[in-house]
Amino acid sequence: MDSTNAKEIFSILKEASKDTLVVVVTHDVEASKTYGDYLIELKDGQIVNSTLEKENDESKVSFKYFKNKKSFGTYKKSFKINIKKRPLRLACASFLMICSTGFLSFPATLLNVNKNETIIKSMLDNNETSVTVKKGQYFVDKQNDVVGTGSKGRMVERDKEFVSNELGENIDGVYCGMSDIFKNSILLKSTDSIPSAYVSYSPNGFVEVDNDLLNRYKFDLTDGRLPSNDNEIALTSYELSLYKYFGLSDSNDNRYTITSANDLIGKSIISEDQTFIVTGIIDTHINKRYTIDSIASNEKIAKEFDRLIESGMHNVIFTNKGFYKNNYSLKNKYREYIDFEDNGTLYDVSLELTKCNGKVFLQKQYINKAYNYDHYTNKLYKFDDSKDSEGVYLSYEKFYEFRFNGQFESYISNFVAQDLYDSNKELFDASEEIYNYYQYYNYLKDNDFEDNKYLHLNKDYFVNTFLKAKNKDFIKTDDDRYVELEYSKNNKIKAEVIGVYINENTEDTNNVIASKEVYNKLSYGISNYIGEYEYITIPLSSNNYKKIIKLIETKYDNKSIQTMSNETAFVKFGFNELFNEYALSYQEVESPVLFAKNISKYIFIAAIPLVSLLIFYYFSGVIYDSKKEIGIIKSLGSTNKEIVGMYLFQNIIMSLVMAAITCALISIFIPVSNIMFYSCTKPIVTVIRYSFIPYLVTIGMTIGCVLLGTLIPMINILKMKVIDIIKKG
């Protein structure tokens, strides 16, 4: 074309460049310099020079637009172009990616359900101020694989100290063995007016109370005052409700109607062993879910309430500080067991006397582990103070034999007297504690007089006692006036013999006579011995709940023991048993939760490659479809880093929008799932909770796949020559 036409054409192109990027390919260097704003010199397909001749400030496609690294407008405009490019593909791909990430995130939500965390957080939701734990044990082999579990029974002071140190705060134990104060003081008005599940005649034990304890658990002293003397107690609001329904009777069978706390305060509460004066009522804030009507009409709620009053401090007796020390002077460290090995045999140097019912104690002897099963014998004695005015007749009542071979079994020889206890339960509990604590005892034969004459008492406590003898010549010298009472293996104490009871019965009944002092100690001090904890109560708050969960889920090392198969097993222990109504409620949904988690595990595994490939495929397709644009932008002088940043930015924005939609669906899925669980079993626990994990999985997986889907094709494209990029675009 001639110069005139050329000028006209270039003038038109110049005007058009205000709205549109105009690229002119020419060999005329002079014309390029005259009309061009930006010159790019090519040789053999390679850029050899690029020069910004002048900036067209009126142009909407200013070249500074491409060169400014901080220009958000660049990314914004590029993003709009790609959105408009293939809207149908974008819509379909977005729908598929949201669905696929949902299949990844929903299982992650279910897999994140943790039993202990669910229970503890549900307690916080309901403003509970304490959590109750029991001690458990694990049997592991040399490969540290768990081969069995069991309960450790009651706990001792060192267990309480251990938990306190682990949590770094004060905790409380509920002393067990408190007498049944309600047995003689509640008058049952009507068996129909109260559901049986609401009634507990036996307090769980006692707790020494002061203002610090009230503050620790957010309890309120609603009426009266705290006890200050050993014969004073405070009752809970739950126990007050029992007296309101059943009334109160005293030792003279006078009956009182209790309508308020003031009617009960100042009254005497008769226990089996002593009388207490009620000084105050403490509100422990029982969940409002448990009313008389709800318990009477709903069996599940009734079971929960039964567990509620078995744990925590809703059903305990509050005594003054120092009550235990003042009233229980026997210092045997029951349950403070010390095991040591002797030629493969384990012995226990502790002693246990367990009350079964009434004035009865269970005397447990040592047994040498010379059997292929663990073999224990137990002596059950009954007291009768009517036999002698100065002493107490202690008669051998029955012989029990317990064998443990893998699982617990009990073999009881002779009859079970109905007047001693109503069922085998208490005896079962007592014998099971032997099993739990691995106490090995010497075998005691029925007719072995020497073993039967011993009363097991503290070695530091000297007692006066009678001994059984077949004739009056038993005591001959002053030395004979003292006997050794075996306290544990190779540990004996000296007791003075102050009299002899002559057994007129021709049968050898293995009798022992104890003084009144010994009787009082045995029937009250030892049989109700409370140096153990039924459970440990821990203050619960939003500040320490994570420490409590860690405590529950940690398995602590213990010493090795000999199993029944003579193989070495290692016992790990932990405070793993949450014992309350929330734990019971979780059991209602545990099976469907476990089923859902197992299904979710496989869905999660299958969804990972599906989601990854889908996201990768879509965003890599976006890059490959933009080859021509990439080539042009690169030809205009943008660096590889700038080009990658621009396309990476737009892809991440798109992916985050999709991830946000998926996260919104997760937030809807969680309450809907809880509604489904609730509609089935109506638990008091919130099973599925909001957690950062499913959201993190969604966002992390999406961004990760977007990075790969953008960078991998971008690297391949940018390795090519500019002219090849444009040609193949």
Contacts of 419 by beta carbon, 8 Å cutoff, 6+ apart: none
Is the residue at 543 inside a domain?
A: yes
Q: Which range of residues forms the domain containing residue 231?
A: 178-327
- Are residues 279 and 224 in contact, defined by beta-carbon separation less than 8 angstroms? yes
Reported as a single tens digit per residue, the pLDDT across 473-482 is 333 334 444 4
298, 422: one domain? no
pLDDT value of residue 533: 66
Strands of 470-604 (E only): list them: 482-488, 491-502, 512-515, 533-539, 556-562, 568-578
Number of domain units in the chain:
5
| Rounded average pLDDT over 535-557 | 81
pLDDT value of residue 335: 24
- Are residues 223 and 265 in contact, defined by beta-carbon separation less than 8 angstroms? yes
Pick the closest to residue 111 from 697, 701, 705 (CA basis): 697
Query: What are the counts of helices (DSSP H) followed by strands (DSSP E) for the chain?
Result: 22, 27
Q: Token digits for 320?
A: 């003054």
Q: Which of 358-362, 558-562, 623-627 has the lowest mean pLDDT?
A: 358-362
359, 481: one domain? yes
pLDDT value of residue 202: 67
- Are residues 263 and 256 in contact, defined by beta-carbon separation less than 8 angstroms? yes
Q: Token digits for 350?
A: 């502790």
The last residue of a domain, from among 526, 543, 570: 526
390, 457: one domain? yes
- Are residues 422 and 428 in contact, defined by beta-carbon separation less than 8 angstroms? no
**Mode of pairing for the β-strands spanning 533-539 and 130-140:** antiparallel
14, 153: one domain? no
- Three-class DSSP category at 160: helix
- Are residues 277 and 226 in contact, defined by beta-carbon separation less than 8 angstroms? no
Q: Which of 94-98, 115-119, 166-170, 468-472 has the lowest mean pLDDT?
A: 468-472
Q: Which amino acid is at 454?
A: Y
Location of structure tokens 């957010």: 218
Separation of alpha carbons 569 and 341, rounded Å: 14
The last residue of a domain, from among 327, 359, 385: 327
Q: From the centroid of its chain, how far is CA 279?
A: 36
161, 45: one domain? no
Is the residue at 402 inside a domain?
A: yes
Is the residue at 121 inside a domain?
A: no
Q: 644 pLDDT band (50/70/90 cuts)? A: confident
Contacts of 230 by beta carbon, 8 Å cutoff, 6+ apart: 319, 320, 322, 323, 326, 327
Q: Which of 151-160, 530-539, 580-589, 604-613 has the lowest mean pLDDT?
A: 151-160
Q: Token digits for 586?
A: 């979780």
Q: Which of 266-280, 295-309, 310-324, 529-543 has the lowest mean pLDDT?
A: 529-543
> pLDDT averaged over the chain?
63
- Are residues 663 and 699 in contact, defined by beta-carbon separation less than 8 angstroms? yes
381, 500: one domain? yes
Is the residue at 493 inside a domain?
A: yes
Separation of alpha carbons 35 and 322, rounded Å: 102
Is the residue at 461 inside a domain?
A: yes
